[in-house]
Structure 1
Amino acid sequence: MATVLLVDDDPNALDALKELVRQEGYRVTTAADGRDALRCALADPPDVVISDCMMPRMDGLALVRAMRRNRMLAHVPLVLVSAMVTPPVDANVVGFLRKPFAIAQLLDILHRVHAP
């Protein structure tokens, strides 16, 4: 079973996404910010990361950079989600969704990147 790491500082958004992704047949882990996500990913490398961009302590773009510098995590596909930020062209992500987004859009990216 593929593991998806969901990262968002909004607990309501995180819970809703967790349930939706779990219903699609994925194992789901969660983190409240980029720093927690990096710690979780190093302890249990996910198959895919879906992260909000704007978070305290470590934002989504900093998480992408940290993962790309780590040999163990450099290959993990990342999807960024944001209401305000557009990732730079060199962000090296497999998808970007602007909030609010249709759940079908997220699931389509997730299924293209890694089938459950």
Structure 2
Amino acid sequence: MSTVLIADDDTDISDILRRILTRAGLAVLTAADGLDALTTAAAALPDLILTDLDMPRMDGLQLCTAIRATPQTAAIPVAVFSGSLLPGDPRPATALACRAWLKPLTNSALIAGVHELLAAGRHRHTPAHPC
């Protein structure tokens, strides 16, 4: 069973995502902010990280950059999702995120995107090939 780590400071959103992904047959871990997510990712080594952009202590882009800078987590796919991103925003790609999704996202689009990233598996991320 694949494990997904959700980083979001909004507990309602985190709970909804957890339920959707659990029903899709995935194990789910949650973190209330980027710093907690970084600690959890290093300890649990999830197969995928889904992170909100706007969080206290460490935002989603800072989290993605920190994940890429840590050898044991550098290859984990990361998807950023936010209601404050605009289409074409270059910041997620600059932070080497695999995907950037705008909220709201339909359940089916979320599950399809998660399965796509899980199928790609862990891989190297560079500025030339972020994902």
Same structural fold, with TM-score higher than 0.5 when normalized by the shorter chain: yes
Identical-residue share of aligned pairs (%): 38
| TM-score (structure 1 length as normaliser) | 0.94
Q: Which runs of 5+ in 2 are unaligned?
A: 120-131
* Between 101-110 and 16-25, the greater mean CA deviation after superposition: 101-110
Q: Report how far residue 114 of structure 1 moved.
A: 1.1
Could you say what the CA RMSD is over the residues aligned between the two structures, in angstroms?
1.1
Contact 2:49-2:77 within 8 A present in 1 as well: yes
The equivalent of 1:72 in structure 2 is 72
Distance in 2 between the 1:103 and 1:51 partners?
Answer: 16
Amino acid aligned to 2:25: G
- Aligned residue pair count: 115
Match of 2:23 in 1: 23
Residue in 2 that maps onto 1:92: 96
Whole-angstrom distance in 2 between the partners of 1:81 and 1:39: 20
SS in 1 for 2:13: helix
Give the Cα separation in 1 of the matches to 2:90 and 2:107. Answer: 20
Which letter maps to 2:52? D
